[in-house]
């Protein structure tokens, strides 16, 4: 193919129909087209992320070590270090995945005594499908949904003001100040200032002078915010650099983007600071912080928990809006069995709706679990759904309660009683979750895809093999 010629549309469409990572190459081995799976896992953006991850781990290891010397590494040295870092991360992460049975592997013994991983198979979760769904969901996300910080309102295009949960959000801000000794506004202000700076290596005093510019609050808040964002060598040495446990780490560049070079001197790396700013806002949009819960005080964690409960109500409101827009008979927040004509109910039901076209009564369970960025968090999220007495078992009980007298339930929600109703359950979550790709018997959908599920009985997500 000509180097500049676009790939024929038919071939591009064919790539999207093929499973796994698929690419189209020209005679000079240049990639001219790729399907979505390849772009997600192996494309340019993925390569940049891999290099960035390896570089961050190298910086953390350097900060943790008692480094000395003044030789500047050559390009080849740097490339070898990046390659070694990535191999270490990939091997450790894969071992963690296998150890937690998220994927299974087989080992092939060779004649000369060596062995190799022969391939992946089975496991609790279809991680590839989960990754693709997460990427697609991120593309559809209309921005981070958190309340604007008072002193920063309108300064960041990625923050949208939310009208509700003002009391709970104020409690988060108060708890943050009580725990960290500075305001969340001051921390974000410092990150926004340094994210466009050219300071390079700077003393703490230089940072303070630079960051108090355009700040109307106490200067002591800025000084403490810088301390909160500093990545101390002592913290890294005591905790260890364990990148595969991202969300469980108290000290990492993602939450402390000012690595300590020496006493009272830090490295200011604007690109990474901007990345850490986005991570902080992303976590806040889910009602949490990029620090492990164990490091937060009781007051702050209780405030975050209350705020997360309010965010869950947003999912419920979104589902209500979808059901109303599609003119489906429904009831919401059913706490008592008598409300739907039943003698008993195994637990509160978020929504019951009727779809006459498919003769189905749907029992909908809405959840708003946080995003998963580490192997351990994926496993914990999955356990909440599949473990005994977990979410799936509870939904089974609710489906059984409704099935005991589906006609009475249909009457209660204003649906026809002349239909022989079948009863199904489904989970509705704000974004894709690991359990949706673990073969759980119940389908999963988001508020954006729930209408497709209800009206067509088609699962919006690929869910892997049915769990036995």
pLDDT in tens, 203-220: 999 999 999 998 988 999
State the Cα–Cα distance between residues 75 and 152, nearest whole angstrom: 41
State the Cα–Cα distance between residues 104 and 202, nearest whole angstrom: 47
End-to-end CA distance of the chain: 49
Q: Looking at residue 139, what is its pLDDT?
A: 55
Residues 6 or more apart in contact with residue 408 via CB below 8 angstroms: 340, 341, 342
- Name the residue with tokens 């940072």: 207
What is the pLDDT confidence band of residue 231, given thresholds at 50, 70 and 90? very high
Q: Which one, of 451, 430, 441, lies nearest residue 400 by Cα?
A: 441
Q: Looking at residue 163, what is its pLDDT?
A: 42
State the Cα–Cα distance between residues 291 and 412, nearest whole angstrom: 46
* Pair type for strands 31-34 and 144-145: unpaired
Domain 312-456 of CATH type 3.30.479: no
Q: For 318-369, write each residue's pLDDT tens digit.
A: 999 999 999 999 999 999 999 999 999 999 999 999 999 999 999 999 998 8
Cα dihedral 236, 242, 244, 248 in deg (nearest 10): -60
State the Cα–Cα distance between residues 386 and 399, nearest whole angstrom: 16
Q: Looking at residue 97, what is its pLDDT?
A: 82
298-318 burial code (b ≥16 CB/10 A, e <16): eebbebbebbbebbbebbbeb
Model pTM score: 0.75
State the Cα–Cα distance between residues 186 and 243, nearest whole angstrom: 28
Quote the DSSP letter at residue 72: P
Q: Looking at residue 144, what is its pLDDT?
A: 52
Q: Looking at residue 229, what is its pLDDT?
A: 96
Q: Give the relative orientation of helices 298-325 and 166-180 as an angle to the nearest 10 degrees.
A: 150
* pLDDT > 70: percent of the chain: 82
Distances (CA, A) of 389 to 8, 301, 397, 444: 52, 25, 10, 19
What is the pLDDT confidence band of residue 129, given thresholds at 50, 70 and 90? confident
Q: How wide is the angle at C-alpha 18 spanned by C-alphas 12 and 24, nearest 5°?
A: 40
For the beta carbon of residue 197, count every other beta carbon within 10 angstroms: 16
Read off the tokens for 348.
Answer: 């509160």
Q: Which one, of 432, 466, 375, 465, lies nearest residue 131 by Cα?
A: 432
Evaluate if residue 49 carries a pLDDT over 90.
no
Q: Looking at residue 44, what is its pLDDT?
A: 45
The residue that leads in pLDDT, 200 or 70, is 200
State the Cα–Cα distance between residues 248 and 234, nearest whole angstrom: 17
**Mean local confidence (pLDDT), 127-149:** 66
**Mean local confidence (pLDDT), 406-432:** 93
Strand (E) positions, 336-377? 349-355, 360-367
Evaluate if residue 376 carries a pLDDT over 50.
yes
Evaluate if residue 225 carries a pLDDT over 50.
yes
Domains of the chain by residue range: 9-41, 144-299, 312-456
Q: For 50-60, write each residue's pLDDT tens digit.
A: 677 888 888 89
């Amino acid at each position: 193919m000509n180097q500049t010629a676009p790939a024929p549309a038919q071939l591009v469409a064919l790539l999207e129909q093929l499973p796994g990572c698929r690419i189209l190459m020209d005679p000079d081995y240049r990639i001219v087209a790729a399907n979505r799976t390849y772009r997600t896992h192996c494309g340019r953006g993925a390569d940049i992320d891999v290099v960035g991850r390896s570089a961050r781990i190298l910086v953390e290891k350097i900060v943790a070590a008692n480094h000395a010397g003044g030789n500047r590494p050559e390009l080849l040295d740097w490339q070898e270090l990046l390659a070694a870092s990535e191999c270490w991360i990939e091997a450790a992460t894969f071992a963690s995945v296998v150890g937690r049975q998220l994927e299974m592997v087989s080992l092939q013994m060779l004649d000369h005594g060596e062995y190799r991983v022969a391939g992946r198979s089975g496991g609790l979760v279809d991680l590839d499908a989960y990754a693709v769904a997460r990427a697609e969901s991120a593309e559809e996300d209309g921005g981070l949904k958190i309340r604007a910080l008072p002193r920063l309102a309108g300064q960041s295009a990625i923050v949208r003001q939310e009208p509700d949960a003002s009391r709970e959000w104020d409690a988060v801000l108060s708890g943050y100040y009580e725990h960290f000794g500075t305001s969340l506004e001051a921390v974000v202000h410092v990150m926004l200032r340094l994210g466009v700076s050219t300071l390079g290596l700077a003393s703490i005093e230089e940072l303070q002078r630079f960051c108090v510019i355009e700040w109307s609050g106490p200067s002591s808040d800025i000084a403490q915010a810088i301390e909160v964002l500093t990545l101390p060598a002592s913290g890294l040495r005591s905790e260890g650099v364990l990148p595969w446990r991202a969300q469980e780490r108290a000290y990492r560049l993602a939450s402390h983007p000012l690595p300590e070079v020496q006493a009272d001197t830090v490295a200011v790396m604007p690109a990474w600071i901007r990345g850490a700013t986005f991570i902080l806002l992303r976590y806040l949009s889910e009602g949490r912080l990029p620090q492990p819960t164990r490091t937060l005080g009781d007051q702050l964690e209780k405030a975050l928990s209350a705020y997360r409960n309010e965010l869950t109500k947003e999912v419920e409101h979104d589902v209500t809006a979808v059901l109303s827009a599609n003119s489906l008979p429904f009831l919401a927040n059913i706490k008592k069995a008598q409300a739907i004509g039943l003698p008993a109910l195994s637990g509160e039901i978020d929504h019951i709706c009727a779809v006459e076209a498919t003769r189905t009564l749907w029992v909908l369970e809405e959840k708003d679990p946080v995003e998963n960025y580490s192997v351990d968090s994926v496993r914990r999220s999955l356990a909440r759904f599949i473990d005994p007495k977990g979410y799936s078992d509870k939904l089974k009980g609710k489906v059984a309660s409704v099935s005991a007298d589906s006609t009475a339930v249909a009457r209660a929600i204003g649906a026809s009683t002349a239909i022989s109703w079948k009863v199904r359950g489904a989970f509705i979550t704000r974004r894709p979750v690991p359990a949706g790709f673990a073969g759980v018997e119940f389908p999963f959908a988001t508020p954006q895809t729930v209408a497709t599920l209800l009206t067509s009985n088609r699962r919006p997500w690929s869910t892997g093999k049915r769990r036995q």
